[in-house]
A and B are shown apart, each in its own frame.
Chain A
Amino acid sequence: MSTKYWKGFEEKHETPEFIKTLNKEFSQEVSVEDFLANEDNLRESSTPRRDFLKFLGFSVAAATIAACEAPVNKAIPYVNKPIDVTPGEATWYASAYYDGNTFASIIVKTREGRPIYIKSNRDFGFTNGGGNAQVIASVLSLYNEARLQFAYKDGQGIATQVADDEIFNNLQAIKRNKGKVVFISQTIASPSTAKAIKLLEQSITNGSSETETEVSETEPAVSGATFEHIQIDAISYAGIREANKATFGKRIIPDYDFYKADTIVSFGADFMSTWLMASQYAGQYAKRRNPDEKMNKHYQFESNMSITGANADVRFMIKPSQEAGILAAIAKELGASTPGVSASDTVDSEDIKRIADDLKKGNGLVVSGSNNVAIQIIVNIINQKIGAYNTTINLNNPLNMFMSEDKKMMDFVNGLIKGQKPDAVFFYGVNPAYTLPNGEEFGAALANAKMTVSLSPFMDETAVNCQYVIPDHHALESWNDYQPKENEYALAQPTIRPLFDTVAAQESFLVWAGQAKRGGKDSSVFYDFIKSNWKEKGFGADNFEKFWNKTVHSSTYSIEAAKASASDLDASALSNYAKSLPQEGEWEVVLYQKIAIGDGSQAGNPWLQEMPDPITKVVWDNVITMNHETMEELGYDLYIDQENGAKMGRVTVGEVTYELPVFPSPGQAKGTIGIALGYGRGKGGLKIGKAAFQTKELGGYVNDENGHPKPIGQNAFRMTQIRETIEFTAVGSVENTGKYYPIATTQIHNTLQGRNSVVRETTLDTYLTLSVDAYNPEWMHHKITEDGSHEAVPLSDFNLWESHPIENVGHRWGMSIDLNSCFGCGACMIACQAENNIPVVGKDEVRRGREMHWLRIDRYYSSDEEATVGQLKDSKNWNRKKSGVAGSSPKVVFQPMMCQHCNHAPCETVCPVSATTHSNEGLNQMTYNRCIGTRYCANNCPYKVRRFNWFNYPSYKKFGEINPAQDELGRMVLNPDVTVRTRGVMEKCSMCVQRIQETKLVAKKERRKVYDGDFKTACADACPADAIIVGDWNDPESEIRKKSDHKRAYQALAEIGTRPNVWYQTKVRNEPNPILAQIQSKKEEYLHNKH
């Protein structure tokens, strides 16, 4: 109130009115200055001017930003979290794998509800960690985009409900008309499925039919329709069943025990990869390959070089027609008679005598891969003679698999082709239009049937000819139970909600039998059925729920097996069958299964197509394997690489003629060729998976004359021979067409040419009698001493660089690979591929030498210049050229090769940006997002294990047909713990560092040390032979430490001083090899004198 202003005369004159209003609201007394000067007032006012402007500005900005539309990524938390799903954590489910050909107990890894990885179950089940690449790769087949997503009728989509009604009504009509229903299935190893089928049968036949296997002979007295159930396997083993029927009166396949066998004589039985229960036998066999314990002895007679033959101690190359004569010779030597089959002298009598002597020692086992009844009878005679039925073969605990009824099936097929008209034909788990020799004709003749129903999950060769296709779940989507052996039970549980509108086949059977109603997507119909079935069997009588939960947890349940006991053998049956022995021919064709492709049921799986065949190393193709020396004589090309294709041969068996590339297979018997089954699938543009067809160089399919994608290879099933059973050898002819065909193989050079620091090998005698200097001497280099003289000192004295401080500090991860138990099956490769998101690159890229596998299996043959693989007979006089060619009867070594995690890694020093470095746990690690792609590291790697992303595999169009990461569905298999690499980045084995990290975290959470065995790499996990051991080398009690100190342990290319963290164990062959023995004993003598 310092200055007095007046406005208007009222104020000037101080009129009473003015004085009255003087202290009212808008009087000048409360000026702004006063208000602001008053701190109390200010404190009360919560929004100062500046703040207001701030808020205003912010609001305008926020409103502007909010006006822009941003993509909304919804992350919706679980309202009720499922018990089993924790984001970021894997959940494992025990289950069982059965595809009609292989059985294995498995564990399925799921992440956020999707299965991403399958490993064999080591803790439960008689397969004991066994399993092959197909089992592991089947997780990718779950995400095959070609799977049928709903039911079909006449090629058109149809609601399952509608189809059900129609099929049910049709069946009822057939029942009324007393028609005929034929049910063709794979071997039903599932008791509950068998029961469901039985219920279907009874619903049609009025429940009065007795359809045991023998029944077809007698006409059943029924009031309803007739129901014929035929079980047929793609790969038939009926010959063994028939032989046992003839000799023992039981149509069974016995339980073989390769663990007990001291002497194994195998005639073309590839029991380590595909023959019968190979998933079990391989592990049993591998356990007996430890030279420190009693090592078995293995003789192999075969035509193709098989995985089993490659691992044999002594291998003979024979033609299929010679097999019976040699078997008879052995029988004769043993003193058994083979009526109707005379002994031949194809094999040196000394060898026959040696084999017979070994077999006489007891615990012998003779097996044959032939499906010829007569041959199997001779095998039985020998086994009986050597007492195998009391030890290695158990007739009392037979297999419930491989029940193929070849004769019954062929009768039906021939009848259908001739014009018989069954009322209904069902197909479950089989694809006879593909797997039968006259399958194509059969497929066409299916039109004769009034109703045809397929339960195939794919529109395959058979399903496409069927009226109704009601697709079954993938095995990982449904419940199932199995009884693979008399005493073994297993459960398979779903690991993902069905991806499509598919239904469990067993549920369909029950529905069509009028026994159940569809349960929808989360149906528990078959689950309840299995459970009640098991309850009925009397399992877990005291507390069924507890028993059930325990069984689901482990997925297996065994009861005590019946003891093996010999029974009387009727040898006379042989003479009846002897007339149908395999014929002799100039060229004999041997059809075999590749371990990756098998019977072709997973032909659309890119992992399996890209897995190199263990012997030929060919990928993405079906080839004719031929002896390399014969090929040279006949003018085929032996050198095959990117620009040098194979020459095509025209092979003819009966009326079937195929042109296939001829590929050298040293060890193939002369006069024989091998052709793999399981190829040529999807002919006529069938949708069985995108990887089943030939692709062009820059993407897209190669089309046939009708515009359909061309299948890979040719269907060799059409060359199978029908005698008593379906046989897989045939007489044929092959001629050189002179045409070139590009072929992809991952290994071009086949021998070591005397390089002896890659693979080390010795004989069992040398190993047991001589010191380590003989077979695994330490590397010595010369050093100049202070007085100028030379001195031989061990490798460890040479050290260009300072060592990484990893020894005895923290962890040091190491790996040991036993070359003696590794038999080259390649399960590790596929496990590694699944675990580490390794891209599939296709034939053209492999042809260019760019396969991406982090783990490869090198396969080396011995040359004629070598005493064994990598060991020259005479290191002073040898011919380099000859040493580069495999010998005429070569020995084989498989060597898994991956990053050796060198402590003095040549790759690490050369990277200009330090993208590859050494971890303080001894690992050589890649930092993908630091890599700029100079590829210097890959050049400088002596082991050549580094892999470069030449393209952007997950998006570049060239890989659209083959890379699973290129479609929405296939991408679901990717492991979220491992980065998907972009182009221009180097990658390589990380020793599954994500698993190491997980193991350490788990241990840390549980406040404990990492125990030995806590951590396994994917390859070690998958190895059915336990050849790969990983662990912490710094733990003095660990197995890896013991393995690394073992006298068999050596390191590949140790002399160049890379100091790997991977050790190999010297291969020991239980064979007479006088040249090798002499070289090694001389070596020992020399080193002893020196010491």
Chain B
Amino acid sequence: MHKEATIRKPLILGHKSYHDITEDVCRPIEGKAHRMWYILFTIATIIAIYGVGCILYLLGTGIGTWGLNKTINWGWDITNFVWWVGIGHAGTLISAVLLLFRQKWRMAINRSAEAMTIFAVFMAGLFPLIHMGRLWLGYWVVPIPNHFGSLWPNFNSALLWDVFAISTYLSVSVVFWYIGLIPDFATIRDRAKTPVAKKMYSILSFGWSGKAKHWNRFEEVSLVLAGLATPLVFSVHSIVSFDFATSVIPGWHSTIYPPYFVSGAVFSGFAMVITLLLVMRKAYGLEAYITKKHLEYMNIVIIVTGGIVAVAYLTEFFMGWYSGDEYEAYAYMSWGAATGRYWWAFWALIFCNMVAPAFLWIKKVRTNFTISWIIAIIINIGMWFERFDIIVLDLHHDFLPSSWIMFYPSHVDIGIFLGTIGIFFVFFLLFTRYFPVLPIAELKTIVRGSGQSYKNETAISPAYSLEQQNLAKTKPEVKLMYKGASTASPTKAKDTKSHTESTIQKDDLKKIEGIGPKIQEILNASGIITFADLASTTSDKIRKILEDANLKMHDPTTWPEQATLARDGKWEELQKWQDELNGGKEDN
């Protein structure tokens, strides 16, 4: 097993056992949804239905129901398309690229990020289809033998490349995501109590039985798919950028686009992941899995990609000015745009994508959940504006001033955009309700290497105790989204005061024969707080903890067993046994 340096912050906080992970992830699926979930789901559904209504109106009436005109032939449609595709970048980057780079922290976020990716690509794919107005002709772009004779699509067209790029990306992402889900579905299947759920999850899990052969193939397929998906992460948005880069329109016609678009996509993708996960973390009580460390790592990715994007903006601005080309004078990165009628769109882009993310350089900001969440939303808005600026601003003042014009969105433009957000959330909410939002199997592979309690065998870092403090602030019973599920803590809280102070009810470990106040302190500092914690810790580990604390004389061999009895409330049995023991040691 990969052993992680103890100095690194643990990836799974709390004293999570394998079983705890299963419990934590399955809880939302097996429990009853909270009222809040129903409210959100209803809102999302209403918005989605309105969006679908707008789409049907558009398809029935014509593209004229949008605000486009003779000069600006793409507006919100392609803006939304590129925006959604960009958002769809994080998932596969996390699951494929970070897999190849052995970034274990991805495990906490990859499942939901991949789901987000797939739903975002669905939304993205919708726009090129409906933006033609006559949806039923969409298949003409596919190179299939057809009744038109030997009529092929135009392989020179960047739009056709898009078709291939997006469809490949979508299919690989879906497969990758689904493969990862199979063992977890099997877990849910095995736990399912109702016949319907059992049937459904047994179909979804493809007869997974957890055999070594299954695991072996699972690992191999994951690796192969990661290898396949990695280039796609970079190709998809490069190809989307070709829609613009291969044209002649000033501002579009730019060789910088592929790398710039890919970084922009990762930038926006991670922002969306943060937006969604920070809410989910709270709602489903996943604080132990999605931690400050994860947040910081994601924010660092944002800083890097955002930096690349910022450099690209400056390059675009400089090259436009330096070329002296009069047609570049109003391109989206130009003084003409900054001072023209679209000044608000220009400055929205600069603020949201360059100024606001810059605050993430401050550690306090990037480790603060609330501020990070707000910045992530700002980035989401900013990246929408980036695409809007590229498309609309570049078109609105192009070569011939006689055609210069402004774009004004219609209510259908807005309705469809909001609608896709609604549809996206309908999907995502269903996902969080019926799918394991964290990869159970994968997390179990790191709990021993990077779990907090396991790490404590060797190191007690100040940061750790900080984490613990933060963790302690969270509520022991998760009540925001789910109720009625089995509670997280093994022991019931005794008084309300302790609720606010600690997650887990402290047990009096001194009741274990052999443990005094000093040892209790040491154990508590190592994360062993309850009888349950102690029960699940091997005596070797305890010994190590003690040795590290220069207490070499103690023999903790029986402690876990004693703790098991204490945990289970078998006090009489424990008493009986302790009577037999000599200072906690079994007499030989």
Contacts and interface: CB of A to CB of B under 8 A. Distances in A.
Interface of A: 641-643, 747-755, 758, 845, 848-851, 856, 858-860, 880, 895, 897, 906, 909-914, 930, 932-936, 938-940, 942-944, 946-952, 956, 983-984, 1052-1053, 1056, 1058
A755 B63 contact: no
Contacts of B168: none
A219 B254 CA distance: 86
Contacts of A643: 406, 408
A983 B63 CA distance: 9
Contact of B402 (A860, A911, A946, A949): A860
Contact of A950 (B62, B140, B151, B398): B62
A261 to B, nearest CB: 32
B212 interface: no
Contact of B73 (A906, A909, A948, A1058): A948
Interface stretch (B1-9, B22-30, B131-139): B131-139
A944 B400 contact: yes
A911 B154 contact: yes
A46 B582 CA distance: 121
A642 B408 contact: yes
Given A753-B401, A934-B159, A1056 B248 contact: yes
Given A755-B326, A910-B158, 18 more contacts: A643-B406, A758-B399, A758-B400, A848-B69, A849-B72, A850-B69, A858-B400, A858-B402, A909-B156, A911-B154, A913-B154, A934-B131, A935-B63, A936-B159, A942-B400, A943-B399, A944-B400, A944-B403
A850 B408 CA distance: 13
Contacts of A936: 73-74, 157, 159, 243
Contacts of B539: none
Given A753-B401, A932-B140, A912 B157 contact: yes
A848 B73 contact: no
Given A911-B157, A912-B163, A951 B398 contact: no
A135 B399 CA distance: 34
Interface in B35-87: 61-64, 67-74
A888 B327 CA distance: 25
A590 B419 CA distance: 53
B403 A951 contact: no
A943 B399 CA distance: 7
A912 B71 contact: no
A1053 B137 CA distance: 34
B329 interface: yes
B248 A940 contact: yes
Contacts of A758: 399-401
A910 B336 contact: no
B68 A944 contact: no
Nearest to A643: B408
A932 B246 contact: no
B402 A747 contact: yes
27 contacts: A642-B69, A750-B401, A751-B401, A752-B401, A754-B326, A880-B329, A906-B247, A909-B154, A909-B156, A909-B246, A910-B158, A912-B163, A913-B141, A932-B140, A932-B141, A935-B68, A936-B74, A936-B157, A938-B70, A939-B73, A939-B247, A943-B399, A944-B402, A950-B62, A952-B62, A983-B134, A1053-B399
Interface string B150-182: 011110111110010000000000000000000
Interface string B116-149: 0000000000001001111001101100000010
Nearest to A909: B156
Chain B CB count within 10 A is highest, among A643, A754, A912, A943, for A912
A933 B71 contact: no
A754 B325 CA distance: 12
A1029 to B, nearest CB: 22
Contacts of A641: 405-406
A751 B400 CA distance: 10
B249 interface: yes
Given A749-B404, A858-B402, A911-B154, A935 B74 contact: yes
Contacts of A849: 69-72, 405
B375 interface: no
B395 interface: yes
A939 B395 contact: yes
A936 B74 CA distance: 8
A848 B159 CA distance: 26
A910 B157 contact: yes
B248 to A, nearest CB: 5
Contacts of B132: 932-934, 984
Chain B CB count within 10 A is highest, among A642, A643, A849, A906, for A849
B399 A942 contact: yes
A895 B402 CA distance: 10
B567 to A, nearest CB: 66
A369 B329 CA distance: 43
Contacts of A750: 401
A899 to B, nearest CB: 13
A616 to B, nearest CB: 14
B486 to A, nearest CB: 54
Given A848-B69, A939-B247, A753 B400 contact: no
B336 A983 contact: no
B516 to A, nearest CB: 78
Interface in B193-248: 243, 246-248
Contacts of B249: 939-940, 942
Interface string B328-356: 01000000100000000000000000000
A983 B398 contact: no
Given A880-B329, A940-B248, A912 B154 contact: yes
Contact of A906 (B151, B248, B402, B408): B248
Contacts of A755: 326-327, 399, 401
Contact of B398 (A860, A912, A944, A948): A944
B73 A935 contact: yes
Given A932-B132, A934-B131, A897 B400 contact: yes
B141 to A, nearest CB: 5
A255 to B, nearest CB: 38
B152 to A, nearest CB: 8
Contacts of B248: 906, 940, 942, 1056, 1058
Contacts of B140: 913, 930, 932
A910 B247 contact: yes
Contacts of A906: 247-248
Contacts of A850: 64, 69-70
Q: Which 9 A-B pairs have the closest CB atoms?
A: A950-B64, A849-B69, A858-B402, A935-B73, A944-B403, A749-B404, A951-B62, A912-B159, A984-B133
Contact of B64 (A642, A754, A845, A1058): A845
B74 A933 contact: no
A428 B61 CA distance: 46
B246 A910 contact: yes
Given A913-B153, A950-B64, A984 B134 contact: yes
B105 to A, nearest CB: 40
A943 B398 CA distance: 9
Contacts of A858: 400, 402
A732 B132 CA distance: 52
A934 B154 CA distance: 13
A850 B160 CA distance: 27
Contact of B138 (A932, A948, A983): A932
Given A943-B399, A944-B70, A910 B159 contact: yes
A932 B400 contact: no
A917 B326 CA distance: 30
Chain B CB count within 10 A is highest, among A750, A944, A947, A951, for A944
Nearest to B162: A912
Contacts of A845: 64
Nearest to A641: B406
A724 B156 CA distance: 71
A944 B133 contact: no
Contact of A748 (B141, B158, B405): B405
A912 B248 CA distance: 16
A149 B62 CA distance: 36
